[in-house]
Every structure is written in C-alpha cells, then in structure tokens.
Chain A
Amino acid sequence: AQSVAQPEDQVNVAEGNPLTVKCTYSVSGNPYLFWYVQYPNRGLQFLLKYITGDNLVKGSYGFEAEFNKSQTSFHLKKPSALVSDSALYFCAVKGGWYGGSQGNLIFGKGTKLSVKP
C-alpha cells in the first residue's frame, strides 16, 4: 500500500535561514509525490509535485523539493525562510491504480513549520 511519513511534527527555523521539511514514502511502482501547504482556517494549497524527470523540483513561493529514489525521500526545502512561511505542510503520494484507488491523495500527518523573526 502507498504511504508517506513526515517524521517531524514541528520544525522551528529562524527567518532568513534555510528550511527543510522531511518526507519519506513507500509505494508500489512509480511514485507521484506532492507537497501542499495549509494556512490557519484555509484549504490546502498546492506547492509542487514530482512525476518524473529532474530530481530537483521547483514550486511556488520559492519552495523546492528533492526527490531521492534510493532514500525514498522527497524533502521540501527553501533557501531562506520567511515568517509568512509559517504553516502546516503536507506531503502526499498518489493512490495510483492499485487496490481500486484511482488518483486520490494519501497524506502524511503534516509538519508544522514555525519561522521566528
């Protein structure tokens, strides 16, 4: 079965420092990986995805993610954090076409990012 894990419940970073939010995955077949961000009392916003190709994926708001097949990881990164980046971040994998699921997202538990001035 497809699954993702976000090992950190919370990540604290000082403004201007680089940030990393970790995600590991377990899939059968090719992984289709996504990052979403959720601000308080808002819906999920799509940040970026990995489908195939270049292992470094660039997304919205200066975020990027590195796909590492050997480590089954898809960590979210940003070179310089902003206070406004403080939010809940979700890693997700597509359900694929296995076990009857067709395209739904399977989410990690989420990581709360706190960026302090």
Chain B
Amino acid sequence: DSGVTQTPKHLITATGQRVTLRCSPRSGDLSVYWYQQSLDQGLQFLIQYYNGEERAKGNILERFSAQQFPDLHSELNLSSLELGDSALYFCASSPDPGSVYEQYFGPGTRLTVT
C-alpha cells in the first residue's frame, strides 16, 4: 500500500458527460501529480500541483482541469468526455517536486466512456 488513495476505482459514463476523480496524497506529501495510462499513449503526465498551486502541465486537454485543496487532496475534472478518454488515471504524490524524490502512486481510477 503506497498510502495514496484514489476514488472511485471504476467509473463508467457516457460520451459528453463530466466526471470527477479524487486523490488523497500520502501523509506529509505536498506535491500531487496526475497521469493517464492508455494502450496507445502509454503513461503520460497530465498536471502537477504543489501545496495548492499548479506547478506544471503536461499533455492535458483543455476539457480537463484539476485543483488541489487546502487539505492537499486533489481532484481531476474531465468534461465533454469522448471515447478516447477511456483510460486508467493515476495520482501520485511526493514530499515536493525535487528531483531526488520518488513518487508514490495510487491504485488508479479506470474510466470507461461508452
């Protein structure tokens, strides 16, 4: 158990809908990262927060947004969903963005868009 929790584990929804994925980082970690894993794109970095502030953006679509709350949990919002958004979404955390730190991953949320 990495100490990172994600809810829900599975999500099935229809095209055009909006969903929210939730992540709680390990105790003491201030930095949260979101990744998307799909068969065709592999593991891709989406967005990073540190202590409530956005720090870096990767290949995140404009239909997607995220935030980190004062209690450090984070939410990833996916809207106007398309079939191609079906993927595993992982949250990871680390004490801070520094290069010496590894990231610990949650179990993921499997999103299926029908």
State the A residues within 8 Å of B (CB): 30, 32, 34, 36, 42-46, 49, 51, 90, 94-97, 100-110
Contact = CB atoms under 8 A, between A and B. Distances in A.
Given A51-B99, A105-B35, 5 more contacts: A32-B100, A46-B102, A49-B102, A102-B55, A103-B55
B16 interface: no
B85 to A, nearest CB: 19
B103 interface: yes
B103 A96 contact: no
A85 B25 CA distance: 27
Main secondary structure of the interface of A (DSSP, over half): loop
Interface residues of B, number: 31
A46 B48 contact: no
A-B pairs with lowest CB-CB distance, top 7: A103-B97, A107-B43, A104-B45, A43-B105, A44-B105, A32-B99, A102-B97
Given A42-B107, A45-B2, A46-B102, A102 B45 contact: no
A100 B58 CA distance: 10
B69 to A, nearest CB: 20
B18 to A, nearest CB: 24
Contacts of A100: 56-57
B56 A43 contact: no
Interface string B1-39: 010100000000000000000000000000101010000
B45 A106 contact: yes
A42 B44 CA distance: 17
Contact of A90 (B31, B43, B55, B108): B43
